[in-house]
Chains A and B, each alone.
Chain A
């Protein structure tokens, strides 16, 4: 992998010219170039190894109050002309919108810090295989089998529009996931996410997963009930992801389906979260898919709703400016926070556990889904390491449990926040999160492992 080539701005400029020739009153071009590779392993051997090279152009064509979007991977002269014609045709046959369509004008774009690593862009299949080998060796040493994947990617994003926006960046990511399992019901999880592949220690990830698996050997059944819990950072990611999707999008608030109200208390005073793609400790990105510079947005401030993320359309309707959280057009989902952070607390892992008289330590959640979106009631399972805690000590593994829990009520019951944070992948992007101790968590079912 050598990175997704050179600047693609000339293609964007050409497409803008073609759109103008087709009669666009405004136009926006987004180019997505990807070099991505993934090595997957199961039963302590590589079983899948893939690499992909891709380049796609997305054209948003505005004709007065009409908008058409077309995208294509055919980017030679004829392909670009066809793309412009298609977007124009789509726009012209539509009814006019009630509101004017205004694409963003050029604005300040923060300098991209630490978003790119040459080592990640140039990672080879042999290097990925060697890293996987190190994770497998850790599993071998512990007498368990390793399953997982090691992905490296370099992505070039170009946004250009007819109002003068010109933005281009190359970012990289590397992610190693390892689950270790054995013959006696044990399972343990480990994960590392980084911009620089060199920052990932595959043997350490393997040891974390293998160690957790060994500790979870021969789990015993536990009656589902309301228990206090300590959530590892892997589980906390799900809380932020879900609340980001359900509540902190300006479109969700506009349509009345969000729990968000300015100043509403939705969490303990210990909880503060924000979205910040400019923070080099996350997975940095300088601008969104509309070419708007990324802004830091406080979402929860000491337990109270603080603000929402906006794209250009929702901002215009709300009389605000976009916060740089727009997705690729046509975006019917609305803006989303893709780089969330939770403020650290002062508790060590031992401190988090020490406050639990009779409860559970949860490594991560599996297959979570909202049962009632506006109240943020979510169901899901625990997975890959669930442990009983008695008198502040982990006393042994238990079988996985189902929960049906309002994530808002859970954040309201946060008693302690860990001081160590992890950078982890989420459904929306990445999160930097600590562990949490929560006074009550509603487990509503059990499974057989």
Chain B
């Protein structure tokens, strides 16, 4: 345990904290953006600091600083205690944490090729090649190729004796082709619209084969300009993993966050329809085929770690079992309120933010039997929706609406016409109850987003979602006037 951490914990305890934890975090981020043949941005950002969280008289206080000195540790710890005492002025229920033994250990994301060791010119060249391949394949208005790597060194220690160190590495790349004609602007992206990041190193970029997919997405973007508008109606839809991952994120992951249920996010992100009475009754939130887990150990997932930011070991928790709601993402504070222990879902966006309940890797498990292609082949009449373009959901996570970059008509089990501007909408539990096919492991893949917004002050979370594709019946598509 370093001196800053030791001193912070000591001062917090001396000043009256019944519990204290300290996280010291150093983060390194690298981004490269190539835009229409031009290197639009290359940046490397590094920040470092520590945060002290304390419980005093049953109330939380948190303070943080970028100055890693023992004198600053003393100041910040004392400030956290003072803030906690101020919090107690408007407190009606004392915080109680679940009991658990202190943790010690080290975790490191498996990395085959250190992304920060790959020469910068090589990474720029990889993006320029993809950019050139897109623009030579079709007349684009603009194109963008991005690379991003993130590494976080963090130590966690608490007054109960935990002492943990972790090194988390995420990396990825993505390409985006944009075509414009008149009022029409069409975008196609690969591998997903969230930057293609996964846990791991530069091997994640190489396995994407950006150049190999560049021509196809460029041609699709241009073809979409003249494709027919997706008609309105109630249809069978098959969601590709590149759309399904965000459907899981918005309509399954967020409502399972127990802090939302208790109202902690009510003033910003909202609450949840998965209320405590629905856990007790075994609420039917999907068909029998729907099996959703929060798995903080899944290979490649951006929600994979050794311990969360409360020192709780990574674990796999079932949220939905055969369509029935059975569990939450929780913390050491929220879990005891429903008679459980933490699911290990607390993570903070750096040293200057408190941990919040965040999704880990929220995965829709594949169902043995049929591949995604076979599901399409057995669909008489429907739409195959690919790659998220837009998302929106209400503050209790019930009414959602998504748009995808493209749709293909399915007629007699075969993919037909390309359609532009597809949208679909529904009520979360009705939609998941209409799921009548989940693809097997052949199309099961890890996706995710590094931009999950939550909390005040705002925090961005890195979360993972693995899925294989699924079919839904009687869904409203083609929303609005076009």
Q: Which residues of A contact B (CB under 8 A)?
A: 36, 38-56, 67-74, 86-87, 89-91, 93-95, 97-98, 124-126, 128-130, 132-133, 136, 145, 147-149, 151, 177-179, 181, 255-257, 259, 329-332, 366-375, 377, 379-381, 383, 400, 402, 404-406, 442, 444-449
A55 to B352, CA, bound (A): 12
Cβ of A55 and Cβ of B66 under 8 Å apart?
Answer: yes
A49-B84, A53-B65 in contact; A402/B394 too (CB < 8 A)?
A: yes
A93 touches B119 (CB 8 A): yes
- Across-interface contacts of B121 in A (CB, < 8 A): 93-94
How many chain B residues touch A (Cβ–Cβ < 8 Å)? 85
Q: Determine if B396 and A125 form an interchain contact, defined as CB atoms under 8 angstroms apart.
A: no
Residues of A within 8 A of B273 (CB): 448
Bitwise interface map of B from 49 to 61 toward A, beta carbon under 8 Å scored 1, else 0: 1000000000111
Q: Which of B390-445 contact A (CB under 8 A)?
A: 390-396, 398-399, 401, 403, 421, 423, 425, 427
Cα–Cα distance between A126 and B35 once the two chains are bound (Å): 49
Q: Which B-chain residue is minimally distant from A91 (CB atoms)? A: B42
B87's contact among A46, A72, A373, A445, by CB below 8 Å, is which? A46
Known interface pairs A73-B47, A371-B403; A41-B141 also in contact (CB < 8 Å): no
Q: Which residue of B lies closest to A131 (CB)?
A: B90
| Complex contact A73–B35 (CB within 8 A) | no
Bound Cα distance A141, B42 (Å) = 55
Q: Name the CB-closest residue of B to A89.
A: B120
Whether A90 pairs with B40 at a CB distance below 8 angstroms is no
B91 x A46 contact (CB < 8 A): yes
A42 to B262, Cβ gap below 8 A?
yes
- Alpha-carbon gap, A54 to B457, bound state (A): 14
Q: Are B263 and A371 in contact (CB under 8 A)?
A: no
Distance of A96 from chain B, by nearest CB (Å): 9
Least Cβ–Cβ distance between B313 and chain A, in angstroms = 25
**Cα distance A54–B391 in the bound complex, in angstroms:** 33
Residues from chain A with Cβ under 8 Å of B48 in the complex: 73-74
B87 adjacent to A94 (CB under 8 Å): no
Question: Which stretch (B99-107, B180-188, B196-204, B465-473) binds chain A?
Answer: B180-188
Residues on B lying within 8 angstroms of A by beta carbon are 31, 33, 35-49, 59-67, 79, 82-84, 86-93, 119-121, 124, 128, 141-142, 144, 178, 180, 183-185, 262-268, 270, 273, 352-354, 389-396, 398-399, 401, 403, 421, 423, 425, 427, 456-457, 476, 479-481
Contacts of B87 in A (CB 8 A): 39, 46-49, 125, 129
CA distance A256 to B265 in the complex (A): 38
Report the nearest B residue to A87, measured CB to CB.
B44
Q: A71-B44, A73-B49 known; 10 other A-B pairs, CB under 8 Å?
A: A48-B62, A49-B59, A86-B44, A93-B119, A129-B86, A129-B87, A177-B268, A330-B33, A330-B43, A447-B398
Give the residues in chain A near B393, CB-CB below 8 Å.
367, 381
List, sorted by A's number, 10 A–B pairs whose CB atoms are closer than 8 Å. Answer: A46-B90, A56-B66, A72-B45, A72-B46, A74-B46, A129-B86, A256-B142, A256-B185, A371-B401, A380-B392
CA distance A132 to B265 in the complex (A): 16
A126 touches B267 (CB 8 A): no
Q: Are B421 and A371 in touch, CB under 8 angstroms?
A: yes
B390 touches A73 (CB 8 A): no
| Chain A residues, CB < 8 A from B142 | 255-257
Partner of B66, one of A38, A73, A374: A73
| Contact (A377, B394) CB under 8 Å given A49-B84, A53-B65, A447-B399 | no
Q: Within the complex, what minimum Cβ distance (angstroms) separates A328 from chain B?
A: 10
Query: Is the Cβ of B86 less than 8 Å from the Cβ of A94?
Result: no
CA distance A375 to B183 in the complex (A): 7
The CA of A368 and the CA of B391, in the complex, are separated in Å by: 8
- Smallest distance from the beta carbon of A23 to chain B beta carbons, Å? 17
CB <8 Å contact, A70 and B45: yes
The distance in angstroms between the C-alpha atoms of A55 and B67, with both chains bound, is 9
A97 to B425 Cα, complex, angstroms: 44
User: Is B390 touching A381 in the complex (CB atoms < 8 A)?
Assistant: no
Interface centre among B35, B89, B353 (most CB of A within 10 A): B89
Contact partner of A97 among B39, B124, B183, B395, CB < 8 A?
B39
Measured CA separation A442–B392 after assembly (Å): 16
A52 near B120 (CB under 8 angstroms)? no
- Interface pair A95/B83, CB less than 8 Å apart: no
Please state if B89 and A50 are interface contacts (CB–CB under 8 Å): no
**Closest A residue, CB atoms, query B232:** A444
* B82 pairs with A125, CB closer than 8 A: yes
B267 partner residues in chain A, CB cutoff 8 A:
40-42, 147-149, 177-179
Once the chains bind, are B60 and A47 in contact (CB under 8 Å)? yes
Are B120 and A381 within 8 A (Cβ)? no
Other-chain contact of A445, B65, B92, B401 (Cβ < 8 Å): B401
